[in-house]
Amino acid sequence: MILVTGASGFVGRSLISRLVNDSLEVRACVRKGHFPLSDTVDVVDGHDLSDNTDWHNVLEGVGVVMHLAARVHVMKDKVADPLAEFRKVNVDGTLNLAQQAAMAGVKRFIFISSIKVNGEHTEKGRPFTENDAPNPQDAYGISKLEAEQGLLKIAQQTGMEVVIIRPPLVYGPGVKANFASMMKAIRRKMPLPLGSINNKRSFVYVENLVSLIVCCINHANAANQTFLVSDGQDLSTTELLRGCAVALNVNTWLLPVPKKIIEVAATLLGKRDVAQRLCGNLQVDITKTRTLLGWAPPITVEEGLKITALAMPD
C-alpha cells in the first residue's frame, strides 16, 4: 500500500492518476471536502499536518509514504511570524508523520522538498547539485531544509529509508500562479518587455516529476539519497515565452528591453524579486538522478508546454 499526502494538490492529482494506471494499491490523504478520485483509491479525508496528528489508522498496511502535503510558498505572507507557521506544518507535521510511519513499519518515505533548499539563483552555467551547501533564502526554503535534516535523522535512528526530491518550478495542466498568468498573457498577445533575456532556468513538467517519484518507490539506489529533477533542458525567459506561444499557436509580442532597465524599473516599483525570477538564473544538474537511478525525463519541454496549453481554460 502506498500512502500519498497532498493527493488533491497539483502534483498529487497527477501522481494518483499514474499510480492507479500502474495498478498500485493507493491510499490518498486529501483536504477536507469531496475530491473525486478513482474508485480503486482508498481516500482518507481531513488529516492536518501538525505535531500531534494521529496517523495510526492511516498508516495501517502502508509500505511507502509519498509526502507531498505542505504549507506552500506564499508570495505575500501576512502572518506575524512566517517561519514559525512554515515550521508547524513543514517541519513538525512532517517529522511527526515520519516518526509514526517508521513505528508502523513503513519501509520508505519519499519527501517532496524544494530547490529553494539550495537557494534562489545560480551563476549561469553553474547549476545547483545535491552536494552544494544548502542556502535557503526564505521561510519556506528553511522549513524544507529543516524537514530534510529531521527525516535523515529518523532514517538513521529507525532504519526507514528516506528519499528526498527537490524540484524547481513545476508546470503542467492545471498549473496556477505566475506560470498560468504568463501563459494567459501570451494567449492574449499582450506586449511583454522580455524579448532579450539571456538567462537560464530549469523547470519540470509535472509528469516528469511524477515519473521520478514512481521510480523511487522500489529503486535500491534511491534509499537515503537526495535528488534534483528537471526537464533536462534549461530555458531563458525569452525562450520560455516563445515556447508557450508556439504551444498556444499564437504570435508573440516580446519587446527587446535591456535586462538592466527591467531590473531598475522593478526595483523602483518594489518588485525586485520578480525581476530576479524573470532575469536571473536558476539551473539544476540532474546528472546524479540520471546515473544513479537510470532515469530520464520522459516528456520534452515542447511536449509539456503543448499539453499545458491545451488544458488551459478559455
Active-site pick, 86, 109, 128, 140: 140
Name the band, by pLDDT with cuts 50, 70 and 90, for residue 259: confident
Q: What is the pTM of this model?
A: 0.93
In single-letter form, the type of residue at position 175 comes to V
Q: What is the mean pLDDT of the chain?
A: 91
pLDDT surpasses 80 at 121: yes
The pLDDT-based confidence of 278 (bands split at 50, 70, 90) is confident
The residues, ordered by sequence, that sit 6+ positions from 114 with a Cβ below 8 Å of its Cβ are 73, 140, 141, 144, 166, 167
**DSSP letters spanning 132-185:** SPP---SHHHHHHHHHHHHHHHHHHHH--EEEEEE--EEESTT--HHHHHHHHH
Distance CA 215, CA 63 (A): 15
Q: Are strands 108-112 and 161-166 parallel, antiparallel or unpaired?
A: parallel
**Higher per-residue pLDDT: 283 or 253:** 283
Buried b / exposed e over 9-27, threshold 16 CB at 10 Å, is bbbbbbbbebbbeeeeebb
Task: State in Å, rounded, how far the first CA of the chain is from the last one.
Answer: 39
Q: How many CB atoms lie within 10 A of CB 207?
A: 20
What DSSP letter does each residue of 60-97 carry, written as one string?
A: TT-SEEEE-------TT--SS-HHHHHIIIIIIIHHHH
Q: Which residues pair with 203 in a beta bridge?
A: 169
Please say whether the beta carbons of 215 and 15 come within 8 A. Answer: no
Q: What is the pLDDT of residue 249?
A: 92
pLDDT tens digits along 122-132: 998 899 999 99
CB-CB contact of 284 with 128 (8 Å): yes
Can 171 be counted among the known catalytic residues?
A: no
Cross-strand partners of 166: 228
The residue assigned the cell 488551459 is 312
Question: From the CA atom positions of the chain, what is the Rg in Å?
Answer: 20
Question: Model confidence over 34-91: pLDDT tens digits?
Answer: 566 667 888 887 678 888 999 999 999 999 999 999 988 665 567 778 899 999 999 9
pLDDT value at residue 313? 82
Predicted confidence (pLDDT) per residue in 177-223, tens digit: 888 888 999 999 999 999 999 999 999 999 999 999 999 999 999 99
Percent of the residues in the chain that have a pLDDT greater than 90, as a whole number: 72
